[in-house]
Amino acid sequence: MARSARSVAAALVVVLWAGCSGADGQKETTEGHLSHRDVECREAIGVVEEPGPNYRVHGSGDGFVALPAGEMQLGRWGSAGSGSEDHRFSKFGLHVRRSRQVSLEIVTAPDEASLDFGWSGPTPVDALTAGPCGSDSGDWVVWAGGIWVNEPGCVELVATSDEEEISVWLAVGTSCDGVPAKS
């Protein structure tokens, strides 16, 4: 009986540890905890010399991340059974300077918002990390994806690279005029 109780207790410890650590670099979504994904270099859709004209580079010096500068259109609804049925998607490319590692985290949103980049992990997530990625050409690595929201609004991201942390606002389906621009 005591041996059986020890086996059950040991199994419970393993299950609890696995749930807290998150398998494959993923954090479980629980109350007060972020879901997270490492977006892999092999998932990038390309490398460019400079972000496009509708993008703003953020970070000191030459910057480390480029995100849409203006109002972003809301597109398709989430498919039935996906957990995103009541959410709309706003598509954009995530540009990260190839020599830098960048973390993005949603810190303020009108209600619910989540990031959806890469295909190696469950979607959606509250935070992600991308880069650094080697490349023979181009300064910026680009990933396809976007953001899911259940209503239009201004979404604040915290972008971090090395010792630098900045706040960036995304205008998702609405104008964010009057929201303080930070960089």
CATH assignment of the domain containing 160: 2.60.40
pLDDT higher than threshold 80 for residue 84: no
In our burial notation (b when 16+ CB lie closer than 10 A, e otherwise), range 101-118 reads bbbbbbeebeeebbbbbb
Residue 41: pLDDT band with limits 50, 70, 90: very high
Residues 77 and 141 in one domain: yes
Q: Which of 6-20, 71-85, 157-171 has the lowest mean pLDDT?
A: 6-20
CA distance 104 to 36: 10
Do 126 and 163 lie in one domain? The reply is yes
**Shared domain check, 116 and 45:** yes
Closest alpha carbon to 61 in 107, 103, 100: 100
Q: Identify the domain containing residue 9 by its residue range.
A: 1-33
Structural domains of the chain, count = 2
User: How far is it, in rounded angstroms, from Cα 119 to Cα 124?
Assistant: 10
In a domain, 93, yes or no: yes
pLDDT value at 110 more than 90:
no
pLDDT band at 120 (very low <50, low <70, confident <90, very high): low
- Cα separation of 167 and 157, whole Å? 6
- Say whether pLDDT at 183 is over 90: no
25 has a pLDDT exceeding 70: no
pLDDT band of 28, cuts 50, 70, 90: very low
Query: Would you say 159 and 58 are in contact if contact means Cβ atoms under 8 Å apart?
Result: yes
| 157 domain-assigned | yes
Residue, of 14 and 119, whose pLDDT is higher: 119
Q: Give the residue carrying structure tokens 């749930």.
A: 19
pLDDT tens per residue across span 140-160: 999 999 999 999 999 999 999
Same domain, 54 and 134: yes
pLDDT at 181 over 80: no
pTM for the whole thing? 0.77
